[in-house]
Amino acid sequence: MSKPNVLVIAGHDPSGGAGIHADIETIHALEGYAATLITGLTVQNSQNVFGFEMVDTQLLRRQSDALLADMDFDAIKIGMTGSPAVVSLIAEVLDQLPGVPVVLDPVLAAEAGGSLSEDGDTLVAALIRDLLARSSLITPNLEETLTLSGQASLHEAGSELVRQGTPAALITGSQDDTADVRNHLFTANAHRSWSWPRLEGSFHGSGCTLASAIAVGLAEGRTLEKALEMAQRFVQTSLEHAWPAGQGQLIPDRHVR
């Protein structure tokens, strides 16, 4: 029996709500398999990020060499990259896996605030230079979109990301103050959007859940639009069943179908 095999490259959130926990839970709930390269270890709970340390790139390289010598992958999901050195290493890994769909969630900060990047400007430049054009899809929120593109409005920024080299950008609206959550897809020749009822509360790990679910959809061979529809529905259901594991943001329940 074979399963969609997803290589996840992301950070660890000890609260279990976001990062690698969210990725593995999502991929397993959607009946895929997850192999993981953990880029950084964060210090956080459901309320706040208090810091993080990056994993040594030599160790990451040995881990990726071991995985790539052993497994084939159907998709790659990238979350917290954290530092320019890790971005360079990820670019090398992607070059060893040509043709495999790549979903990049260009995480710069946690949803509740709290930086997840070592050197903001340099990391942004490295993401643009090394990862945008190597990704099949990026899934920034509006703030990340404006930072990456240097533009001030959603539509300008979406078009600029495509000009910068990404084939597709799904700009997520969970952090906006609109009545519905509106997610916008920009590609070289299309723009479309989806609206979802905004649920009460604030959620930890919704972006990680979305990007991992899309990666499973692409690993299964779905078209981009079909993968995006499936993944957004999966996130909405997970958020509808979110629960207060701690005293801060709610944690999506990724096991309810």
Residues that bind ligand PLP (CB under 6 A): 10-13, 18-19, 42, 44, 49, 79-80, 107, 110-111, 116, 204-208
Q: How far is the CB of 177 from ligand PLP (least distance, A)?
A: 17
Task: Identify which of residues 41 and 230 has a Cβ nearer to ligand PLP in the complex.
Answer: 41
Q: Closest distance between ligand PLP and the C-beta of residue 2, in Å?
A: 28
Find all residues with CB under 8 Å of 103, minimum gap 6, and list them.
75, 76, 77, 78, 135, 136, 137, 138, 139, 211, 212, 214, 215, 218
**Shortest Å, Cβ 199 to ligand PLP:** 14
Nearer of residues 18 and 128 to ligand PLP, judged by Cβ: 18
Closest CB 10 distance from ligand PLP, rounded Å: 6
Q: If 0-12 CB within 10 Å is exposed, 13-18 middle and 19+ buried, where does residue 248 land?
A: middle
Quick one: 55 or 157, whose CB is closer to ligand PLP? Answer: 55
DSSP state of 152: S
Cβ distance to ligand PLP smaller for residue 162 or 210: 210
User: Starting at the edge strand that comes first in sequence, how are the strands of the sheet with 168-171 ordered?
Assistant: 49-54, 33-44, 5-12, 75-78, 102-104, 137-138, 168-171, 180-187, 191-197
**C-alpha span between 238 and 89 (Å, rounded):** 32
Task: Check the CA dihedral 122-92-74-10 and report its sign.
Answer: negative
Closest to ligand PLP by CB, 63 vs 159, is 63
- Considering beta carbons, is residue 40 or 158 the nearer one to ligand PLP? 40
Beta bridge partners of 194: 183
Q: Is the dihedral of CA 42, 135, 122, 163 positive or negative?
A: negative
Residues whose CB is less than 8 angstroms from the CB of residue 226 and which lie 6 or more positions away in sequence, other chains included = 217
**Nearest distance in Å: CB 190, ligand PLP:** 25
Please report how close the Cβ of residue 185 comes to ligand PLP at its closest, in angstroms.
18
The continuous run of DSSP H or E covering 95 comes out as helix 84-95
- The residues, ordered by sequence, that sit 6+ positions from 24 with a Cβ below 8 Å of its Cβ are 8, 34, 36
Q: Which two tokens stand for residue 95?
A: 């070059």
For ligand PLP, the closer CB: 159 or 175: 175
Q: How far is the CB of 110 from ligand PLP (least distance, A)?
A: 3
